[in-house]
């Protein structure tokens, strides 16, 4: 009886060679979708939406601010999952993907903080406010910094992967704790979440009006694919760097 | 287990450093605050609780790299790892020793420094309670951070970068309890939440610290 090969399992990509082959094929497409969605979403958002009746044209910063903030949190979530996979199943690609995602997530956090400051200045009259949402993003930024610093500080790659995974797990718990402690500490200026109220037909009073919602969704998709493309690209770089290191070590032994 | 605790305490007492030093740091920190803020008693009274909490946190941080570093350098940590005592127990004991040598003196010294900073009278019980319930979490979290960075040369700065964000919830709730107490408001909710975080830290973080130690000793 011929061996029936199951549809390729997700775990096959733990093999660096499989991962490299598949990601090489996928990367141009993902990058293309990201470029397309971002340019469509941002151009649509910036030039073809009306100004908000209260916020004027500053509302358009939403097309960068909200997707960047959402992806900043999701990047940490992805690192958490990748760290768990490394701890449980010890797939090197997973650890490298977590390492690759950290700087990307950090930059998204920085973008969210920066655009938030630019938006907050005309709207709230202040660049910065110790509001729970803003503060928790600042703390998230610090977590990213610590995570990356730990990767840099430890020479042995496996040891670094282990320690950063533990840090990521503990850090996630404390990030959530901080979020709720902050709610206790100060009532916020920042509005509640609006994106979950984005939807077709939702009244403008409750959430984001349709005119703004469509380009926002496109831009959100674009940021998602951008994150995916950057992480894949950086993971590939990490794998190549690992191979080069192995080759150099072999040469030295010979 | 008790032997290890006794040994750590004896080392901290006799070798100097640890015990008195963080207390002295706490004192200097509190004494420097009026130079930076200005001597108006009203303003000092307003921020005293938060300042004392910050001082406790920094004094705690300073002594963290001593938790495992010396044992790591002279090989004691390897012996401890091969001893019948589980590494989780070692981590928990190290945290306890750290708390007894730094956290507890800080709690005792805090009222005197509160006097120095003109802390309002109703705040004292809240300040002491919040420090007493909060500083064990600082030690437990710090032990985890020290376990992560034990193999890193000159890990002091890295340690503070890793540990300080983890201190955020404890600091917020502890300082909030003390500040609310100072204003005569009900401070039970932040106090109890902070105590909950402390208990969770004591219960869970030794496992994380032991995992990190195992990686570093491999």
Nearest CA in chain B to A181: B169
pTM of the model: 0.87
A216: which 2 tokens? 């926002």
Q: Which of A146, A166, A174 sits opposite B161 (nearest CB)?
A: A146
Residue B130: list chain A partners with CB under 8 A.
none
A190: which 2 tokens? 């920042």
- Say what the pLDDT of residue B138 is: 94
Integer Cα distance of B40 and A87 in angstroms: 54
SS3 label, residue A9: coil
Higher pLDDT, A250 or B2: A250
Q: CB B184: neighbour CB atoms within 10 A?
A: 11
Q: Could you tell me which residues are beta bridge partners of residue A56?
A: A52
* Cα–Cα distances in angstroms (integers) from residue B108 to residues A60, A245, B113, B125, B200, in the given order: 55, 54, 10, 12, 24
Torsion of CA A174, B172, B198, B191, to 10 degrees: -140
Q: What is the mean pLDDT of residues A63-83?
A: 92
Q: What percent of chain A has pLDDT over 90?
A: 44
Judged by a CB distance cut-off of 8 A, whether residue A161 touches chain B is no
| 8 Å CB contact between B170 and B200 | no
- Say what the pLDDT of residue A73 is: 92
Q: What is the mean pLDDT of residues B92-103?
A: 90
DSSP, res A35: H
Judged by a CB distance cut-off of 8 A, whether residue A163 touches chain B is yes
pLDDT tens profile B137-161: 999 999 999 999 988 877 788 898 9
Residues of B in CB contact (< 8 Å) with A are: 144, 148-149, 151-152, 155, 158, 161-162, 164-166, 168-169, 172-173, 176, 189-190, 193, 197, 205, 208, 211-212, 215-216, 218
Q: Which of B161, B162, B176 sits opposite A185 (nearest CB)?
A: B176
pLDDT tens profile A25-44: 899 999 999 999 999 988 88
Highest mean pLDDT among A5-14, A97-106, B108-117: A97-106
Contacts of B52 (CB under 8 A, 6+ apart): B30, B110, B113, B114, B117, B119, B127, B131, B178
Q: What is the mean pLDDT of residues B49-73?
A: 87
Question: What ipTM does this complex have?
Answer: 0.87
Nearest CA in chain A to B151: A154
pLDDT at A7 over 80: no
Across the interface, do A159 and B144 touch by the CB < 8 Å criterion? no
The alpha-carbon gap from B13 to the nearest alpha carbon of chain A, in Å, equals 31
Q: Is B118 exposed, middle or buried (0-12, 13-18, 19+ CB in 10 A)?
A: middle
Judged by a CB distance cut-off of 8 A, whether residue A178 touches chain B is yes
Judged by a CB distance cut-off of 8 A, whether residue A247 touches chain B is no
Integer Cα distance of B160 and B62 in angstroms: 9
Query: What phi, psi does A56 have (nearest 5°)?
Result: 65, -145
| 8 Å CB contact between A41 and A219 | yes
């Amino acid at each position: 009886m011929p061996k029936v090969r199951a549809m390729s399992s997700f775990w096959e990509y733990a093999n660096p060679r499989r991962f490299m082959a598949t990601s090489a094929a996928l990367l141009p497409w993902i990058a293309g979708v990201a470029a397309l969605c971002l340019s469509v979403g941002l151009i649509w958002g910036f030039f073809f939406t009306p100004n908000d009746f209260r916020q004027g044209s500053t509302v358009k910063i939403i097309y960068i601010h909200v997707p960047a903030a959402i992806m900043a949190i999701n990047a940490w979530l992805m690192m958490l999952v990748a760290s768990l996979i490394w701890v449980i199943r010890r797939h090197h690609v997973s650890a490298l993907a977590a390492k690759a995602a950290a700087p990307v997530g950090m930059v998204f956090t920085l973008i969210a903080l920066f655009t938030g400051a630019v938006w907050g200045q005309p709207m709230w009259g202040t660049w910065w406010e110790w509001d729970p949402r803003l503060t928790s993003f600042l703390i998230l930024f610090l977590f990213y910094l610590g995570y990356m610093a730990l990767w840099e500080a430890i020479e042995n790659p496996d040891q670094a992967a282990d320690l950063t995974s533990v840090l990521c797990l503990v850090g996630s718990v404390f990030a959530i704790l901080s979020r709720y402690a902050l709610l206790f500490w100060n009532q916020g200026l920042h509005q509640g979440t609006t994106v979950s109220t984005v939807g077709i037909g939702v009244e403008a009073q409750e959430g984001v009006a349709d005119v703004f919602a469509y380009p926002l969704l496109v831009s959100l998709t674009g940021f998602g694919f951008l994150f995916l493309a950057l992480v894949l690209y950086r993971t590939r770089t990490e794998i190549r760097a690992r191979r080069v290191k192995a080759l150099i070590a072999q040469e030295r032994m010979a | 287990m008790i032997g290890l605790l006794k040994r750590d305490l004896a080392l901290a007492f006799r070798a100097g450093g640890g015990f008195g030093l963080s207390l002295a740091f706490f004192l200097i920190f509190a004494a420097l605050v009026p130079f930076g803020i200005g001597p108006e008693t009203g303003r000092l009274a307003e921020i005293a609780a938060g300042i004392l909490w910050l001082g406790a946190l920094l004094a705690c941080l300073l002594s963290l790299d001593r938790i495992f570093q010396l044992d790591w350098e002279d090989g004691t940590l390897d012996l401890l790892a091969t001893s019948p005592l589980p590494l989780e127990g070692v981590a928990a004991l190290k945290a306890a020793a750290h708390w007894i040598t730094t956290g507890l003196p800080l709690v005792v010294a805090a009222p005197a420094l509160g006097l120095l900073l003109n802390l309002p009278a109703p705040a004292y019980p809240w300040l002491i309670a919040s420090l007493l319930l909060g500083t064990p979490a600082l030690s437990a979290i710090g032990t985890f951070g020290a376990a992560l960075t034990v193999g890193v040369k000159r890990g002091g700065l890295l340690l503070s970068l890793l540990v300080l964000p983890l201190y955020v919830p404890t600091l917020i709730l502890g300082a909030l309890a003390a500040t609310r107490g100072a204003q005569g408001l009900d401070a039970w909710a932040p106090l109890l939440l902070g105590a909950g975080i402390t208990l969770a830290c004591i219960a869970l973080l030794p496992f994380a610290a032991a995992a990190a130690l195992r990686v570093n000793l491999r």
